């Protein structure tokens, strides 16, 4: 199974909502999701799994529509802040989070509707292992969150403290091999990280699968913006 882990696009902000914060994508986030849909169009997706949050669902909706797939919601792929009434993009928390950020830094998670890091890791890893043991297809798209994907990648590499940069709508890939059977009868799939934080879809287009992802010929890639330097008249 080839798993395509996608962080959601940039969401709207929500401050002190009377209900649990569940923002959709903002204008930039919708553009990012459109670019992702175009990029994944040449990959034949067998199944789509998402977090229950609107920002994750909206990010993969284009791919679901274009490939006639219905997303399956997995609650345990939700972010660590799943019960919070405030949502700010992660990069804004230190400068605009105010008291909310202070409570995060003081690890007062229950007061702001967060899971503890241990609870979060345990449920995400359990959901990931269930997906690996019960693959819904050969190529599976998982739309979720930065914290969720970092937890999965750290689990796969066997280092709970590992850090990974994950931009909005970035793609990370994990190869999951069929379970091996040991003499004791245990069955465990083997996972390996193939890539992290792919963002080529912001700047390029493609019409076929390339490189390590099944060894096809490299297609012509049309730049989506001019080169950073313009050749001089002397060249």
Tens digit of pLDDT per residue, the chain (235 long)? 999 999 999 999 999 999 999 999 999 999 999 999 999 998 999 999 999 999 999 999 999 999 999 999 999 999 999 999 999 988 899 999 999 999 999 999 999 999 999 999 999 999 999 999 999 999 999 999 999 999 999 999 999 888 899 999 999 999 998 776 545 555 678 899 999 999 999 987 777 776 545 433 334 434 333 333 334 444 4
- What is the structure's pLDDT at 203? 87
CB 160 within 8 A of CB 128: no
- pLDDT score recorded for residue 100: 94
pLDDT at 91: 87
Domain boundaries, the chain: 2-202
Q: For residue 41, what are the CA distances in angstroms to 14, 63, 84, 172?
A: 32, 7, 34, 16
Tokens of 228: 């950073």
201: number of Cβ within 10 Å: 20
pTM score of the predicted model:
0.85
* Contact (Cβ atoms closer than 8 angstroms) between residue 143 and residue 55: no
Considering the domain delimited by 2-202, tell me its CATH architecture: 3-Layer(aba) Sandwich (3.40)
């Amino acid at each position: 199974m080839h798993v395509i882990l996608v962080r959601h696009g940039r969401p709207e902000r929500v401050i002190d909502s009377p209900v649990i914060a569940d923002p959709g994508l903002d204008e930039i986030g919708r553009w990012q999701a459109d670019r992702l849909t175009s990029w994944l169009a040449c990959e034949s997706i067998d199944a789509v799994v998402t977090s229950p949050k609107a920002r994750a669902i909206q990010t993969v909706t284009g791919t679901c529509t274009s490939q006639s797939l219905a997303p399956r919601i997995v609650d345990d792929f939700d972010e660590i802040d799943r019960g919070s009434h405030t949502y700010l993009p992660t990069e804004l928390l230190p400068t605009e989070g105010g008291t909310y950020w202070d409570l995060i830094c003081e690890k007062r998670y229950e007061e702001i509707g967060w899971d503890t890091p241990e609870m979060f890791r345990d449920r995400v890893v359990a959901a990931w292992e269930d997906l690996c043991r019960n693959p819904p297809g050969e190529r599976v798209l998982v739309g979720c969150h930065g914290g969720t994907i970092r937890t999965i990648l750290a689990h796969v590499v066997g280092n709970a403290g590992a850090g990974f940069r994950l931009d909005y709508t970035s793609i990370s890939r994990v190869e999951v091999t069929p379970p091996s059977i040991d003499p004791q009868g245990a069955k465990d799939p083997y996972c390996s990280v193939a890539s992290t934080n792919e963002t080529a879809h912001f700047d390029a287009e493609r019409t076929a699968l390339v490189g390590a992802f099944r060894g096809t010929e490299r297609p012509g890639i049309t730049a989506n913006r001019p080169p950073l330097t313009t050749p001089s008249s002397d060249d």
